[in-house]
């Protein structure tokens, strides 16, 4: 079957037309089983040295790493149904009971470490070694939800699974899959030849370097070029050589306890659209936005690698591959703008009209055949419609009703005061107080870590602070009159008791 490669190339060029030659840029590479069919390369890999971005330029793949780690885990024969506690000693009981498979397919309810740091005011630029991060993971007190009940993205399961390998991930990668040009740096200080710098745009300062202090893990630590990722994907889809038999295992969908498929496998996610199956994964680190999207039945794919933080890598990959496969993308949907929250729980969304912030994670709105607004990423599913009561439907396979927050509402005074609890095995304290610019939350991370607060309804508030290119937003919830819970999309386990 002849595919419209020229139309796909034209679409790719349209979508990256705004990447100026003197700015950070990236590549969009379309390929089949033979090799590249089109390439759009724009901008600079290094602003310091004026080096152009090419298909041979390595970038930090971020979470595209996940399926490659899972391929290594399968080759190593890791027991997917064994509880984490049998492989990683010292975990809290809730985490220890999570089966490895659920830890990797996002149905295990594991709190995400980096998200948990953000709740406490610890920046992603803070330096933590691999050993320290493993110790902190052991200090997570519980899971976000009963394993198999829902789905929520988390990197923690991958870090824990990596610690259970019998040899370093990098050496196992080289042993099982040699000659694939996949680099595994220990942290951001390790040199990767030709690596593109990552950048974000500060409206007041121009382009700035993205910084990430945490030690890399198998959840997102690999670096590779578009050409290398293309070759890996070709061999994976065709099950060539050492990758034989891995594709069906990596794309076996996870299931909830009631049997429903999630569409998220082992580091690969299926796009919830009719037509040819589309599987892939995105990757994001400060200064990098990437996406890999594959149509295995046609043995074709698209790689989008970018060193500019605001790049819409997923939209680019999806639009280009939809053009190639003749897949009809749904129309953009809209919901009434505003802030919405549950009455009896901590879930919230902030709707801008054509997109929502779902407990802090931004997603575009697509129109379902029913007229509802939906998301297309299986690790973050939602289906919502506007009703007289607010927004009703499903978040993360969980039924919900979210009521619009009155913009004139005042903060619940029951939140004010000092709070003490345990996080990562240590005693920490919070304070909700009246500040010069309104009510604020004082966090225990760095001195001066403060989040502004907005009302979410009785017993709830929305905390927000800016950290470099990121806006960190999470909820405070009085789960009981004297118990305060911090809640984000990926971390919901830190509880504090009133002390004053």
What would the DSSP string read from start to end of 7-54? HHHHHHHHHTTT--TTSB-EEEEEE-SSSEEEEEEESEEETTTTEEP-
DSSP 121: T
- For range 470-480, the mean pLDDT: 91
Q: Transcribe 287-323 into DSSP letters.
A: TEEEEEEEETTTTEEEEEEESBTT--HHHHHHHHHHH
The average pLDDT across 434-440 equals 85
- For the beta carbon of residue 49, count every other beta carbon within 10 angstroms: 8
Contact between residue 160 and residue 140 where contact means Cβ atoms under 8 Å apart: no
Q: Look at residues 195, 283, 199 and name the one whose alpha carbon lies nearest to residue 469.
A: 199
DSSP at 186? S
pLDDT tens per residue across span 11-52: 999 999 999 999 999 999 999 999 999 999 999 999 999 999
Nearest to 306 by CA among 190, 206, 225, 189: 225
Q: How far apart are alpha carbons 41 and 59 in whole angstroms?
A: 14
Element (H, E) at 228: helix 226-238
Contact 63, 219 (CB under 8 A): yes
Query: Residue 213's pLDDT is what?
Result: 83
* Residue 367: predicted pLDDT: 93
User: pLDDT digits over 226-260, tens only?
Assistant: 999 999 999 999 998 999 999 999 999 999 999 99
pLDDT at 362 over 90: no
Alpha helices in 167-225 (DSSP H): 169-176
pLDDT at residue 22, as a whole number: 95
Q: What was the pLDDT predicted at 124? A: 80
Tens of pLDDT, residues 339-358: 999 988 889 999 988 889 88
Rounded to an integer, what distance in angstroms lies between the CA atom of residue 114 and that of residue 452?
20
Q: Would you say residue 179 has pLDDT above 90? A: no
197-224 pLDDT, tens digit each = 999 999 888 999 998 888 899 999 999 9
How far is 104 from 78, CA to CA, in rounded Å?
Answer: 12
Q: How confident is the model at residue 71 (pLDDT cuts 50, 70, 90)?
A: very high
Percentage above 70 pLDDT, the chain:
100
Domain with CATH 3.40.710.10 in the chain: 5-68+167-325
Q: What is the pLDDT at residue 344?
A: 86
Q: What is the CA radius of gyration of the chain?
A: 22
How far is residue 385's CA from residue 387's CA, in Å, rounded to a whole number? 6
E strands present in 163-314: 199-202, 206-209, 223-224, 269-270, 279-285, 288-295, 300-306
Assigned CATH topology for domain 5-68+167-325: Beta-lactamase (3.40.710)
The burial of 255, by beta-carbon neighbours within 10 Å (0-12 exposed, 13-18 middle, 19 or more buried), is given as: middle
Mean pLDDT over 467-486 rounds to: 89
Give the integer Cα–Cα distance in Å for 453 and 486: 13
Average pLDDT over residues 302-311: 96
pLDDT band of 181, cuts 50, 70, 90: very high
Cα–Cα dist 185/214, whole Å: 12
- Give the Cα separation of 202 and 310 in Å (integer): 11
Higher pLDDT, 272 or 50: 50
Name the β-bridge partners of 455: 461
Taking the C-alpha atoms of residue 283 and residue 64, their distance in angstroms, rounded to an integer, is: 5
- Cα gap 224→146, rounded to integer Å: 36
Higher local confidence (pLDDT), 129 or 300: 300
Q: Is the pLDDT reported for residue 360 higher than 80?
A: no
Digit-coded pLDDT (tens) for 133-178: 999 999 999 999 999 999 999 999 999 999 999 999 999 999 999 9
pLDDT at 500 over 70: no
- Is there a contact between 470 and 121 (Cβ–Cβ < 8 Å)? no
């Amino acid at each position: 079957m002849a595919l419209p490669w020229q139309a796909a190339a034209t679409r790719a060029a349209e979508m990256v037309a705004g990447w100026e030659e003197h700015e950070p840029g990236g590549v969009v590479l379309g390929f089949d089983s033979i090799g590249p069919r089109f390439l759009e390369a724009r901008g600079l890999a290094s602003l310091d040295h004026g080096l152009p971005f090419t298909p041979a330029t390595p970038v930090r793949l971020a979470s595209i790493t996940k399926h490659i780690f899972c391929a290594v885990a399968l080759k190593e024969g890791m027991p997917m149904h064994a509880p984490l506690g049998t492989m990683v000693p010292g975990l809290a009981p809730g985490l220890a009971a999570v089966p490895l498979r659920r830890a990797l397919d996002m149905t295990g309810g594991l709190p995400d470490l980096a998200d948990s740091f953000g709740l406490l005011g610890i920046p992603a630029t803070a330096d933590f070694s691999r050993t320290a991060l493993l110790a902190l993971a052991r200090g997570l007190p519980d899971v976000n939800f009963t394993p198999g009940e829902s789905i929520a993205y988390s990197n923690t399961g991958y870090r824990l699974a990596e610690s259970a390998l019998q040899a370093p991930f990098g050496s196992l990668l080289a042993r099982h899959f040699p000659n694939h040009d996949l680099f595994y740096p220990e942290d951001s200080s390790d040199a990767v030849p030709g690596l593109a710098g990552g950048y974000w745009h500060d409206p007041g300062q121009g382009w700035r370097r993205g910084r990430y202090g945490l030690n890399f893990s198998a959840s997102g630590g690999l670096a590779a070029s578009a050409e290398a990722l293309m070759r890996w994907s070709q061999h994976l889809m065709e099950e060539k050589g050492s990758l034989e038999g891995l594709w069906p295992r990596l794309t076996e969908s996870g299931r909830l306890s009631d049997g429903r498929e999630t569409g998220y496998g082992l580091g690969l996610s299926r796009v919830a659209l009719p037509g040819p199956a589309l599987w892939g994964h995105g990757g994001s680190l400060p200064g990098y936005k990437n996406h890999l999207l594959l149509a295995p039945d046609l043995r074709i794919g698209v790689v989008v690698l970018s060193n500019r933080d605001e790049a819409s890598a997923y939209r680019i990959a999806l639009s280009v591959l939809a053009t190639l496969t003749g897949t009809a993308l749904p129309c953009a949907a809209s919901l009434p703008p505003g802030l919405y929250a549950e009455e009896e729980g901590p879930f919230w969304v902030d709707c801008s009209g054509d997109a929502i912030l779902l407990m802090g994670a931004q997603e575009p709105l697509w129109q379902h055949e029913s007229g509802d607004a939906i998301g297309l990423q299986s690790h973050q599913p939602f289906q919502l419609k506007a009703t007289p009561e607010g927004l009703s439907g499903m978040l993360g396979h969980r039924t919900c009703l979210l009521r619009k927050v009155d913009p004139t509402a005042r903060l619940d005074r029951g939140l004010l005061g000092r709070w003490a609890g345990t996080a990562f095995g240590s005693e920490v304290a919070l304070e909700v107080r009246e500040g010069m610019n309104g009510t604020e939350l004082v966090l225990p991370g760095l001195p001066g870590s403060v989040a502004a607060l907005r009302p979410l309804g009785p017993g709830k508030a929305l905390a927000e602070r800016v950290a470099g290119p990121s806006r960190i937003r999470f909820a405070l919830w009085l789960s009981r009159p004297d118990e305060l819970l911090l809640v984000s999309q990926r971390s919901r386990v830190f509880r504090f008791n009133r002390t004053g």
